Amino acid sequence: MQSIGALNLLVSDYDEAINYYTTKLSFVVKEDTLQLNGRRWVAIAPKDSNGFSLILSKAKNAKETQSIGCQAGGRVLLFLYTDNFDRDYKDYLSKGVHFNEEPRHEDYGTVAVFVDLYGNKWDLIQLKNSPFE
């Protein structure tokens, strides 16, 4: 058996990123460990999720810095599943999260694209066949 455990997400500052993801998206910090080279191992995830984490990695050179916010070449990078689209959509709006579009209903569920503080595109999705059941 295999599973993907984490995805590396380039950020410009650890604390800025932690603040955004925990206050705007209500994520939790699963780990924040100082490493010998002064870097940090920071893992975040949606509260009450199990398994998958985002690893926040501070860009260390010009090439990485240029990639912040465009790791998917302008396409949606991350897909955030929810069991209650209306609740989370309204909560994110009230916290100043910027949506690129109004919610739309697709064959697979309800979805809207939002951007994080670095410009990464995310889909907020409530699937018709919920993975939470």
pLDDT tens string 41-61: 999 999 988 889 999 999 999
Give the number of domains in the chain. Answer: 2
User: Are 58 and 79 found together in one domain?
Assistant: no
**Over residues 94-110, mean pLDDT:** 97
Statement: residue 129 has pLDDT above 90? no
Residue 130 DSSP SS3 = coil
Burial 87-101 (b: 16+ CB within 10 A, else e): ebbeebeeeebeeee
Looking at the structure, tell me whether residues 75 and 32 fall in a common domain.
no
Q: What is the mean pLDDT of the chain?
A: 94
Question: What mean pLDDT is predicted for residues 21-41?
Answer: 94
Same domain, 61 and 100: no
d(CA 8, CA 56): 6
Q: In which domain, by residue range, is 123 found? A: 70-133
Please check whether residues 50 and 1 belong to one and the same domain.
yes
pLDDT tens-digit series, residues 74-86: 999 999 999 999 9
